[in-house]
Structure 1
Amino acid sequence: MIWLVWRQHRAAYWTLLAATALSVAWIILKRADLTDYLAAHGWPSATGKWVDGLGPYQFELQKVGLGLGFAPILLGVFLAAPLLAGDLETGTAKLIASQSASRIRWLCTKLGLSMLVVVLCTTALSIAFGWWFEPIKSSDSGTSWSDGFIFDNTGPVPVALALFTVAAGVAIGMILRRTLLSMVVTFVAAVIVQLLWGRARLHLGDVITLTTTGKDHPMVFPEVPHGAIEIDRWYATGSGGTRGLGTCINGASESIRAACRQKADISGWSIDYLPISQLHSMQWFGASILFVLTALITVFILLRGHKRVV
């Protein structure tokens, strides 16, 4: 059965493996270019000039990260959607169901082998991309660890996103039973998943609030920890509340604005931020949700396949 499934989908599998190998090799070369530049300009010294010339390297990192962000969509459309839909549309599924091997064994082999290839490829790309980004992860270089092209391409997140999209694509193909239609619907569903994930990304962490006090210096802005992502900021009041940043900005002079702040009981700043130390916990929390959803979809596929000729 493994030989049969591999031979049936060998073009897709070999394409994925070859593309991954070439991508990893290219990332290794680009990482070497980055480290050569950093070593020549005083990295990791805070007084070095290495930050000033990072622009081209960051732009390249961003382009590759954005490209890798399309990988789950492509996997869902070109690998997952036709995986069962093609067999259902051509009648191959009925032929296989009439053989001595059970439908569940056939489904498990198709899903298992496809997901194994996906896990191998996305894990390799995640490790390579994270290794590339590691030297400048905590720098004030303008590239933030919370950006989608970083957060979604390192750690367990790319594996979880790819597996979820693949499982969803297979389920869509099983239900619709038409290859082209399944590919179109899977594409739309995968894009929606990416958009929803992008909106939920920063909600995976435990937001920390930093508040300053002191009516004599209400405008002294506090520094958040190095590498942290600022979520929002307000004025803090002496009573423990907050006011919007638009409070007391229309005064003709600083003395008038200061009087306004005193009247409004503004005593400092309130800053919400996410420290870089939460990166891995946020990634694993989000990935665990996707893994659970992937497992549920897989159970649905197996149950549906067990009850009827798929």
Structure 2
Amino acid sequence: MSTMTSTGSTGGPASAPSGPARTKAGRGPHLSGMNWLVWRQHRAACWTLLATAAVTVAGIVYGRHRMVTYLEGHGWPDLQSGWEQGFDQGPLNMAAQLLGFAPLLIGVFMGAPLLAGDLESGTAKLVNAQSAGRVRWLATKLGVTTLVVAVCTTAASVAFTWWWSPVKSSSYVMSWADASAFDSSGPVPVALTLFTVVGGVAIGMLLRRTLLSMAVTFGFAVAVQIVWSHFRMALGDAVTVTTGNGVGDEAFPKLPDSAHVVDQSYLTASGDLIGWGSCAEATEKAATACLEKAQVVGWHVEYLPLSQMSSMQWLGSSILLALTACIAAFVILWGRKRLV
């Protein structure tokens, strides 16, 4: 029985392309080795996050276009008085609230299962038997995941900051000191999300059960948000203003636009401070008598100006990223000897 064999011009068997042809075929960025393995394993979650970020940015671009169109009708960038009356602040507030859920959702669905799934299914034992090593595997898992998370949250944060910037100085639209604005703009969303995700990875590594790790990571993310909400305003350097011309309606000190009042008290003639609610009597006459008895002479007000927002965000984000790096180091050091 005869067989047919393809031959080249020399009559020998055909061979794979070499030289320039092979170089041209392999040209372009591509993943290989451990990077390819990790991306292949988690590509569904990564593509979902990337697609969600793309849709979010597109929605923000559309929202910004509509907002600027309205503002230009009222003289933007030098807005005329009364522009707030017809301004629809709903889309901006809704976007801020949705971005506020990003650390929790990404931490639960990407961070917690990252190692817990491999440990529960036994995949980690298979990887441990290969020549790559645990440290390289852990570093690649963390690196690929945090890179995708950082890119997506940075894109969403930059877009939201750009959308909000034309009305940032107006407390009517959104107060900069509220979580909806402070935690959804600048570097804060990136830092909060990375901290929650890496924390979820550590929880999954220790608990070794996917569903349990996701539940505990949910609680961890909620606790982080609660602690952060109490810690956030302490990042600023409060400015103090005192007055000595009484406490009537016209005597309260004039503060900068969008200033966030940290504390306000009555100032007495002796220089002591008493709570502004100390003389909240039922009648105006009784309240006046109370103020006179306490020898109240003016106000003592502490506030944070809008100008401190950026420095507060970067300081807080630096602390969160430092804690994230510590947790990542713990994951690698613990996993190096005790992962399997």
Query: Shared fold by TM > 0.5?
Result: yes
1:303 Cα offset (Å): 0.5
1:250 Cα offset (Å): 3.3
- In structure 2, the partner of 1:199 is 230
SS at match of 1:51: helix
Please report the TM-score for the alignment, with normalisation by the length of structure 1: 0.94
Contact persistence 1:75–1:162 (CA under 8 A): yes
1:74 Cα offset (Å): 0.9
Instruction: Summarize the alignment of residues 1-310 of structure 1 with structure 2, pairs less than 5 Å apart.
Output: 1-45=34-78, 47-54=80-87, 56=88, 58-215=89-246, 220-250=251-281, 258=288, 260-310=290-340
Contact persistence 1:43–1:50 (CA under 8 A): no
Distance 1:30 1:219, change over 3 A: closer
Please report the TM-score for the alignment, with normalisation by the length of structure 2: 0.86
Structure 2 CA distance, aligned partners of 1:138 and 1:191?
A: 29
Structure 2 CA distance, aligned partners of 1:248 and 1:298?
A: 53
Instruction: Report which structure shows greater RCO (CA 8 Å, sep ≥6).
Output: 1
Structure 1 CA distance, aligned partners of 2:144 and 2:166?
A: 35
Structure 2 CA distance, aligned partners of 1:196 and 1:67?
A: 20
Structure 1 CA distance, aligned partners of 2:171 and 2:102?
A: 29
Q: 1:34-91: per-residue Cα shift (whole Å, max 9, x none)?
A: 010001022343543312122x2x2211111111111111111111111111111111
Q: 1:149 is aligned with what amino acid?
A: S
Q: Greater CA deviation, 209-218 or 261-270? A: 209-218
The runs of 4+ residues in structure 1 deviating greater than 4 Å are: 215-219, 251-254, 256-260
Structure 2 CA distance, aligned partners of 1:260 and 1:193?
A: 43
Structure 2 CA distance, aligned partners of 1:247 and 1:208?
A: 23
- In structure 1, the partner of 2:29 is none
Q: 1:7 is aligned with what amino acid?
A: R
Q: 2:314 is aligned with what amino acid?
A: W
Distance 1:171 1:23, change over 3 A: same
Which of 1 and 2 has greater Rg? 2
Structure 1 CA distance, aligned partners of 2:233 and 2:271?
A: 25
Structure 1 CA distance, aligned partners of 2:86 and 2:317?
A: 34
Instruction: Give structure 2 stretches of 5+ with no counterpart.
Output: 1-33
Q: What root-mean-square deviation, in Å, do the aligned CA atoms of Structure 1 and Structure 2 show?
A: 1.8
Distance 1:149 1:257, change over 3 A: closer
Instruction: Give structure 1 stretches of 5+ with no counterpart.
Output: none
- In structure 1, the partner of 2:5 is none
1:258 Cα offset (Å): 4.6
Contact persistence 1:215–1:262 (CA under 8 A): no
1:22 Cα offset (Å): 0.9
Q: 1:282 is aligned with what amino acid?
A: M
Structure 1 CA distance, aligned partners of 2:293 and 2:224?
A: 47
Report the identity percentage: 54
Contact persistence 1:208–1:273 (CA under 8 A): yes
Q: Greater CA deviation, 72-81 or 230-239? A: 230-239
Structure 1 CA distance, aligned partners of 2:283 and 2:53?
A: 61
Q: 1:200-240: per-residue Cα shift (whole Å, max 9, x none)?
A: 21122111111111359696111111121112211111222
Distance 1:42 1:106, change over 3 A: same
1:252 Cα offset (Å): 5.3
